[in-house]
Amino acid sequence: MPYQLVFTDAYNRRALRFLRRHPELKLQYAKTLALLEANPHHPSLRLHALSGRLQGLQSVSINLSYRITLELLIQDQQIIPINVGDHDAVY
């Protein structure tokens, strides 16, 4: 069963700001979201749980430098992106 991405207004603003700063990542970002929706456990996404103040959230990789933090609601098949940016910005 496919997952559904649920975008909040706050995330949309963060993503727009991120893509303005990094227009070269637009295609890679779109591919990451498409793969996330199709199969969030795909090995290339490197999905992993976070700890500390971000406990309860997961992270996927856009590439080696940039990440998307997200809330993965398995019971509702929903994925809610929270933040996007480089390692230091999202963690």
7-59 residue pLDDT tens:
999 999 999 999 999 999 999 999 999 999 999 999 999 999 999 988 989 99
Predicted local distance difference test score (pLDDT) of residue 86: 84
Closest CA to 69 of 50, 43, 88: 50
Structure tokens at 39: 């199969």
Domains and CATH numbers, the chain: 4-90 (3.30.2310.20)
* Reported confidence tier of residue 76, pLDDT bands at 50, 70, 90: confident
For strand 66-73 and strand 58-61, is the pairing parallel, antiparallel, or unpaired?
Answer: antiparallel
- What is the pTM assigned to this prediction? 0.88
For strand 78-86 and strand 66-73, is the pairing parallel, antiparallel, or unpaired?
Answer: antiparallel
Predicted local distance difference test score (pLDDT) of residue 8: 93
